[in-house]
Amino acid sequence: MIQPDDRSPDLSVDHSELLTRVDNDRELLHELLGIFKKEFPCILQSLQEAVVRGDMKKVEVTAHTIKGMLTNVFFARAAASAMRLECIGRQRNTDGLQEELASFEPRAEALALAELEAFCRETIR
């Protein structure tokens, strides 16, 4: 379960759990990670733009999407940060919004995507 107060960065991913989620289908995992890598930057940009505009509904919805994406690839701490953004959006109160986004962005940039790519390349062989 996501812990909303966990503010430490993600350092790695549980590879065996990821494989379990896709029934050990390594090619499917590789494909899903490719989709994540392609879509995540656009969705993150959408979140950033919603914050700038103060569009709290868009913040809520986009942060929820990000939370789901991060949870699916086991970036639980970054997902917890996205959950905090979602809650702020749901409350329609901009207090703390900029600060939480500033806290989330380094987590998003520090995701262990290179580790996941290497894992996928290695396991598909």
* Residue-number span of the structural domain to which 101 is assigned: 15-124
Per-residue tokens: 51: 């914050």
Taking each helix axis from N to C terminus, what angle separates 97-109 and 56-72, rounded to the nearest 10 degrees? 30
Q: What pTM value is reported for the model?
A: 0.74
Task: Tell whether the model's pLDDT for residue 8 goes beyond 80.
Answer: no
Percentage of the chain exceeding pLDDT 90: 34
What pLDDT score does 115 carry? 66
Q: What's the CATH code of the domain at 66?
A: 1.20.120
Mean pLDDT, the chain, whole residue set: 81
For residue range 65-80, what is the model confidence (pLDDT) as tens digits?
A: 999 888 877 677 788 8
**27 within a domain of the structure (yes/no):** yes
Instruction: Please indicate, yes or no, if residue 107 is contained in any of the structural domains.
Output: yes
Residue 52 lies in a domain: yes
Q: Is the residue at 110 inside a domain?
A: yes
Residue 114 maps to a domain: yes
Task: Tell me whether residue 10 is in a domain.
Answer: no
What are the pLDDT digits (tens) for 83-120? 999 999 999 989 889 999 998 888 787 776 666 677 66
The full length of the chain comes to 125
Provide the domain count of the chain: 1
| Terminal alpha carbon distance of the chain | 32
pLDDT at 93: 86
Specify if 5 maps to a domain. Answer: no
Establish if 6 belongs to a structural domain: no
Return the pLDDT at 4.
40
